[in-house]
Amino acid sequence: MPLWDDAATPAEQITFRAAVASRVAALDVSDDMLCKDVPLKDGAITQAKQIVSRSSSAASESAAQEVFDEMPSEVVWDEKMPSDMTVHAVEVASRFLSASHGLVQRAAYTTGGIVDVGQPTPQSHPELLADGEITPGITNEEYISRRKKLLEVLPEKSLAIIASADQQMMTDVVPYPFRQNGDYLYITGCTQPGGVAVLSEETGLCMFMPDTNKEDVVWQGQTAGVEAAVDFFKADKAFPLSQMQKILPELIERSKGVYHNVKTASSYKNLDAFRRASLNNKVKDLTNYTDELRWVKSKSEIKLMRESASIVSQSLLQTMLLSRTHREESQLAAKIEYECKMRGAQRMAFHPVVGGGANGSIIHYSRNDRKIRTGDLLLMDVGCEYHGYLSDLTRTWPPCGRFSPAQEELYNLILETNKECIKLCKPGTSINEIHNHSVKLLIKGFQELGILEKGKSIQYNYLNPTAIGHSLGMDIHDSMTLPKDKPLEPGVVITIEPGVYIPAAPVLNERAPGRYRGMGIRIEDEVLVTDDGHEVLTASVPKEFSHLTTLMSMGSGGDYPNSAADVRELRAACS
């Protein structure tokens, strides 16, 4: 990679070097970083830093050299040292500058410094992205391949319009944290709001980028523009969004069909050409095609999903340990989010479900504002997002360390259903087949426990109205337009999550004995379908009855095990 770009003037090069050199000069540099085994005279480093400052701020290379040439050749070492061991102040300064050059090389100068495109790049965040990646772990070649595959599956002379998600506002000036539309991110790699991407055989990828002004930059920071669309996102063409109303109508008129995400709100829907196409039945839903592409994950996507699953698994284990001493739902919600983000997650995949006691029977419980009573079960449904890819995991356990007999009966039924359904995860099986098998197992178990009357199987949905699982990827319910009887393939990631939900008082006319009232139990794992079966990505989180009781009862109840025996027990529980 060249040190300077072609447009950089000598003055710009010196200015950039000065900025870097000032960082070097500010460091506390040890003696042997400048000269091995030779003690510096008092004030030598200060004098050398002054030379660095003067030379780095010079307007040209020649002016910088003059600073060195005019400096007195004062020896900065003890005069008693042999002559061949002496070094002048300018030489010490040159070593500072040499160090600064190294930093400049690593920074890879471009005009005005590293270009900010509104999201991490290999130059701005080398710790996140390798060269050639648009988003962490996904290369520009993979993004270009996705675009080609989408054009291949669309009908001839089709036009795909994919809009970014809108920025939602909390108040008039305070935005909610932004999350990109899955299809827009999948095709473009752009994580920022306001853009519209158009894809066709004629244009390739054409990106309409938001118009920004200086006031926007002051308040919101830099965003990607037309240049970034071509140079970084590898679009074939790019225009300001303000030109979309002039360019897009002609593309719509020339196409035989227009495919877009019908759920996305965007200004292109107000164009007369789009409305005419819609009236002429030329406008169709793009989601059916993008869902098919996103169904099977690539190797790079699987790597990101493994990491996302690993992050949430480690984080939930830490939260389970904390639940022994901290029984507020809000505290545990805060703990899981903290642990996920400290391990590299950008955000939670959804608002954590932290339901103690009867709150666990509320499937999408979100208040997280109650205290968990001794003897209650705790259900936590959590997931995180790692560079665009999500995880999803649920465990239910007794923070007090003991299951009641009724809790144990229900828990073991859900656990066995979870394990039996995971065994079915393999190429050729469908989510529908797995679901139907789970229903048979649970109906039989509910009847044996007296929760469901024989001959009243229709009441099963009162106890468990959810499906056994769903596809997972860039969205928590990924590729949802695909039929549930579609055979699983290697590279597909799904969840397996049997459960039972019995409120404290009847809500849907369910008829459960009193000892089961106020219980919600779900055990959810994330499963990758492989060539010869499956891999459970969340297998490290304890779910066996004995492992949970061991985990909750070990030691003195602190956050971490307190003895070698505790450590061994914890390892066994997590194996």
* Residue partners of 50: CB distance under 8 A and separation at least 6: none
Average pLDDT, the chain: 85
Amino acid 369: pLDDT: 97
**pLDDT score of 76 more than 60:** no
**pLDDT score of 145 more than 90:** yes
The 10 Å Cβ neighbour count of residue 61 is: 14
Tens of pLDDT, residue by residue over 428-480, are: 999 999 999 999 999 999 999 999 988 777 889 999 999 999 999 999 999 99
What is the mean predicted confidence (pLDDT) over 288-296?
97
Amino acid 456: pLDDT: 77
> In the 3-class helix/strand/coil scheme, how is 302-318 assigned residue by residue?
HHHHHHHHHHHHHHHHH
**pLDDT score of 121 more than 90:** yes
The answer to whether the CB of 499 falls within 8 A of the CB of 377 is no
Tens of pLDDT, residue by residue over 191-219, are: 999 999 999 999 999 999 999 888 888 88
Amino acid 216: pLDDT: 86
Amino acid 509: pLDDT: 72
Note the pTM of the prediction, 2 decimals.
0.79
What is the mean predicted confidence (pLDDT) over 338-364?
97
| CA separation for the pair 147, 197 (Å, rounded) | 11
Confidence of residue 63 (pLDDT cuts 50, 70, 90): low
What is the mean predicted confidence (pLDDT) over 179-191?
97
Q: Which amino acid is at 213?
A: N
| CA separation for the pair 340, 315 (Å, rounded) | 6
Average the pLDDT over each of 127-141, 308-322, 436-450, 542-556 and give the range with the smallest value.
542-556
Long-range contacts of residues 61-66, Cβ cutoff 8 Å, at least 24 apart: 61/10, 61/13, 61/14, 64/14
Q: Which of 166, 116, 128 is nearest to 387 (CA)?
A: 128
**pLDDT score of 569 more than 50:** yes
Amino acid 114: pLDDT: 84
**pLDDT score of 550 more than 90:** yes
Average the pLDDT over each of 185-189, 444-448, 504-508 and give the range with the smallest value.
504-508
Amino acid 511: pLDDT: 81
The 10 Å Cβ neighbour count of residue 446 is: 23
Amino acid 553: pLDDT: 87
**pLDDT score of 140 more than 60:** yes
- The two beta strands, 384-386 and 347-348, are antiparallel
| CA separation for the pair 464, 467 (Å, rounded) | 8
Q: What is the DSSP code string of 98-164?
A: HHHHHHHHHH---TTSSPP-SS--TTT-TTT--TTEEETTEEHHHHHHHHHHHHHHSPTTEEEEEEP
Q: What is the DSSP code string of 182-235?
A: HHHHHHH----SS-EEEEETTTEEEEEEPP--HHHHHHH-----HHHHHHTS--
Work out the burial of residue 512: count CB atoms within 10 Å of its CB; fewer than 13 is exposed, 13-18 middle, 19 or more buried.
buried
Q: Which helix (H) or strand (E) holds 548?
A: helix 545-553
DSSP state of 280: T
Amino acid 573: pLDDT: 54
Amino acid 370: pLDDT: 97
Domains and CATH numbers, the chain: 133-295 (3.40.350.10), 299-574 (3.90.230.10)
In this predicted model, which residue has the larger pLDDT, 39 or 373? Answer: 373
Amino acid 287: pLDDT: 96
